[in-house]
Amino acid sequence: MSNVWVVDSNCFIHVGSMAPDNFLKDLSGILESGDSALYVTPGVHDEVRTVRFQRWAGQPNLLEKFRDILITVTIDEAEVRALAQHIGEKASPQDVDLSLMILGSKLAHEGKKVTLVSDDYKMTTTGEKANLNFETCPPSTFLQRLADLGNSGQRSRLRSLSRRVRAAEMRYAISRAGQYDIQAKLTWMVDSLLSSRVALSEDAEDVTSSDESKLISALNRSIRGEKVKNSMLNKLGSLPDICAPVIRLDEHLSSMTSGGTSDDINHAYDSSVELLSEILEITGNGLAPLGEEMAELAHRAMAGHLYRMESALGMLSKMSGNLRVSRLHLSRALYNATLVDDMGAEMRAMHQLGLLAIAASNWHRAAMLFETADRQSQVIGVNRLGHLVLAGISRHLCGDEDLAKSHLDAANDIVSEDQVEAISVLTTIGNSLLAIDCPGLAIEILDEAMECAIESGQQDKLDMLAETLLLANTALNDNDISQYEGLRQLLDGLNHISKEASEEFASKISDIDKRASELSKPLDETWNEWQDASRLIPSGSPLIVLRVDADEAGRNLIISHHSEIGAIGLWLPEGGVIAAPGNSIMVHDSRIKVAPPTDELRETHNIRGVVAVEDSSALTFTANTEDIME
C-alpha cells in the first residue's frame, strides 16, 4: 500500500521560514525511495503563492521550487459544500481545508495510506466525525517521519528542522490558551510523534510483501527467458513452466504491429482473441491444482502480459467501430494493470475509457476517469495536459463550470511552459476525438493546437493541422455545433496569444472555412453509367472514414473525406463493413457510379455525392496498428 501525504498551507509556511537550502533535495530523495507523494488542492497554491524560502540565497518562491513534486487535485465545490453541511457550518473548517479532507478521503478509498498534514486540530476532530478514513499529524511529525525514512545525513537535517517547527507549533498553541482548551491538541501532537516510532518498528518486522515482490520479479524474469537464481526457482516450483506460455501474447502483438498498418482488423481481432483464450486455458489448467498463494503469484506475474493484450483488443475493437466491446476489453486491461501496480498502464487504460465515455455522452463518467488519470500522471511525472483538457471539457458538459475552469487554468500553465510539446498533445487529443466521431470537440482542441503552432513558428505542424481541421470541418454537422455551446469561451483560456498571432490564426481559419465551404457544394458532375473510379478519386489516393451509417436493413453508407474532393458517401448495400472513423479506404480496379445526395443526407452528413462501387471486394479498409500498443 502506497503512503501519501495531503499537506495544508501552514506546513508550507513553516517550511518556507525554517527549511535549509538542501531541504528539497532531501525531501525528493526520500519520496522517490519510499514510493510516496505529496498532494495538495488548488486552494493551497493560492494560500502560499507569495511564500518564500527565507533561509535560501535570493529567497526563491516556495511554490515554484515545489511545483515538480506536488500533485495537485481539484475538488468539486459541490463536494466541499456537502461536507461542510454534514459537519455543521459552525464546526466546519475553511473551504481549502475541507477540500484537503475530501482529497484525503478519496485517496484512502483508492487504497492508499493517507496522512493529512496540518497543525489545525479541527481537521482531526472533524475528519474523525465524518469518518473520512485518513490519519492526521502536525507538520513537525511529518518532518520527523520523513527523517526516519532517510539516510544518516537526511535524518540529521530533517530532525533538526522538525524540532524547530515543533517549537513554533507549541508556541502558537500556548499563545491561544486563553481562546480554547489546548490540552487535547497538545496530547494529539505528542501522540502523533510517538505513533510514528511504533509504525517504524512494525514496518521493520514486516518483510512478507518484500519477499513476495522478489518472487514475482523472479517469475517475470523466468517468463522472459532470463537467468534466475536456483534458490528462487526452487521457491517458485512449477510456476515458471505454467506461466511461460504468456510470452506468446507479446510475440503476437509485436508481429501484429510490426507493419504499422492492417487491412483486416477483423482477422487481427479474431486471431488475438483465439490466442488469448488458448493461453488462459493452458495457464488456468496448470494453476488449478495449486494453492491460493501460488496462484496469486502467477496472476500478478502474468497481469502485465494480459494487460497489453486486453489493451490491444480494446483498440482493435475501437478501430472496427465496436465501442461497447472496446470498453469491455479496456476495463479488463485496467483491472490487470492494478495487479502489477503499473500506474502508467492504469493511466492509459483510464484515458481510453474516458474517451469511450465521451463517445457515449456520459460526461460525468468521462470526467471522473480523466481526473483519476491526471492524478496518476502527476505521480509518475508524465505530461498531464491531455487528461486535464479532456477533464475540463467533460466537466463543462456536465454543467460544472468552476471545476472545468480549474482544470483549464492548470492546463494553461503547462501550455505556457512548452508550446511545442502542447501542439503534439493537443493534436493527439483532436485525432482521438475524431476517431470516436466527435468532430465538434476535435475542432475546438485543434484550434488551440494551431494557435500554439503559430506562436512557436512550427510551420510543418501548422500545415498538418490545417488539413486535419479541414477534415474535422467536413465531418461536422448541425448537431455537433449546437451540442457544445460555450466550449469555445472555456478553451480560450487554454492558450493566450499575441495580437499578431491572433490575426494570423484568424486568417488561417478563414482559409480553412473557405476550403470547407467549397468542398461542401454538390459535385459538379454525377453519372449513372459505370465509370473508372479514377474519374472521381485520384488513383492511389485514399479516402478517410468519418463515420459508418447503417440503416435498419444492415446496408452501409461510409461517410468519407478526401482533401481534394471533400465528403462523399460510399454506398455498400451488402453491409458487413468493419470500419471506424480514422480508417483509410482504397478503391482498387473497380468502376463507380455517382449520384447527388438527398437533402436529408446532405443535412445529416454534409456529403457532396453518393458513390456506388461495382465490386465491393475492390475496397480495402486500413487501420494504423501503431495505435494498438501505446
Give domain 527-627's CATH architecture: Beta Barrel (2.40)
Cα–Cα distances (Å) from 439 to 111, 447, 472, 473, in that order, read: 38, 12, 5, 7
d(CA 456, CA 364): 34
Residue whose entry in the numeric block shows the C-alpha cell 485543434: 446
- pLDDT at position 381: 85
Q: Report DSSP state, residue 541.
A: -
What are 506's three cell numbers? Answer: 484568424
Alpha carbon 538 to chain centroid distance? 39
What contacts 177, CB < 8 A, 6 or more positions away? none
- List, as one string, the DSSP characters of 606-621: --S-EEEES-GGGEEE
The residue whose grid cell reads 506475474 is 301
CATH number (3.30.420.40, 3.40.50.1010, 3.30.565.10, 3.30.1330.10) of 3-205 reads 3.40.50.1010
Query: What's the pLDDT score for residue 87?
Result: 77
Distance of CA 151 to the CA centre of its chain: 35
3-state class of 196 per DSSP? helix
| Mean per-residue pLDDT pooled into runs of 10, the chain (630 residues) | 82 92 90 83 92 92 90 88 76 79 86 85 73 84 87 87 83 64 60 51 45 87 91 89 94 83 81 95 91 88 93 89 90 86 84 93 93 89 93 92 90 92 94 90 93 90 92 78 74 85 90 87 88 87 88 84 90 78 86 90 87 86 73
| pLDDT of amino acid 478 | 63
What H or E segment, with its residue span, contains residue 22? none
The pLDDT of residue 293 is 84
* Identity of the amino acid at 342: D
pTM of the model: 0.75
Grid coordinates representing 604 are: 445529416
Radius of gyration of the chain (CA): 29
Contact between 2 and 71 under an 8 Å Cβ cutoff? The reply is no
* Domain-wise residue ranges, the chain: 3-205, 207-341, 527-627
Residue-level pLDDT at 3: 76
Question: For residue 201, what pLDDT is reported?
Answer: 41
Pick the closest to residue 446 from 437, 459, 433 (CA basis): 433
pLDDT of 271 reads 93
Cβ burial 301-325 (10 Å sphere, 16+ → b, else e): bbbbbbbbbbbbbbbbbbbbbbbeb
Buried-state track 353-382, b at ≥16 Cβ within 10 A, e below 16: bbbbbbbeebbebbbbbbbbbbbbbbbeee
Separation between Cα atoms, residue 60 and residue 52, nearest integer Å? 6
pLDDT of 202 reads: 42
What is the rounded end-to-end Cα distance, in angstroms, of the chain?
27
Query: How far apart are alpha carbons 542 and 3 in whole angstroms?
Result: 52
Three cell numbers written together for 113: 495510506
Q: Would you state the pLDDT for residue 78?
A: 84
